[in-house]
Amino acid sequence: MSTDPWSRPSADDLRRIQETFDRDVGPNVRAAERLELSVPAEIRTKRGNTIEAITREISRNGIGLLHRGAINMEEVYVKMASETRDFYYRVQIEWCMPCDNGMFLSGGRFLPVQDQSK
């Protein structure tokens, strides 16, 4: 684990935390199927702070994240990158809770893309 308290959690950090989850928590009542996805991400808050994160899961409706430090329930921008392109999403953070080693799990729903021409 990194010694920087604001560094991005690693895939190993995510795996360790996921192992502590009770996987049999009842029926899935979500509207969309979730896919596990562990890729680096950046969260940019309304105040302009950038929080390094790793994705946990994604669906067509929202995203789950692992990061250090709490995030307010507000609209944020999430950036994920592939080898050829950066992806930006507007996300309404709907929950954020502490977990092991000073990290936080959060989740939010995707918001419609704003028209950039305005």
108 pLDDT higher than 50: yes
Alpha-carbon span 105 to 95, nearest angstrom = 8
| Average confidence (pLDDT) over 66-93 | 92
Q: Tell whether the model's pLDDT for residue 109 goes beyond 80.
A: yes
Task: Write down all domains in the chain, each with its CATH number in brackets.
Answer: 11-22+32-110 (2.40.10.220)
Whole-number percent of the chain with pLDDT over 90: 49
CA separation for the pair 96, 68 (Å, rounded): 11
Question: Within 13 Å of residue 57, how many CA atoms lie on the same side as its CB?
Answer: 15
Residue 1 is predicted with a pLDDT of 45
- pLDDT per residue as tens digits for the range 3-59: 565 677 777 777 777 776 655 444 555 566 777 888 899 999 999 999 999 999 999
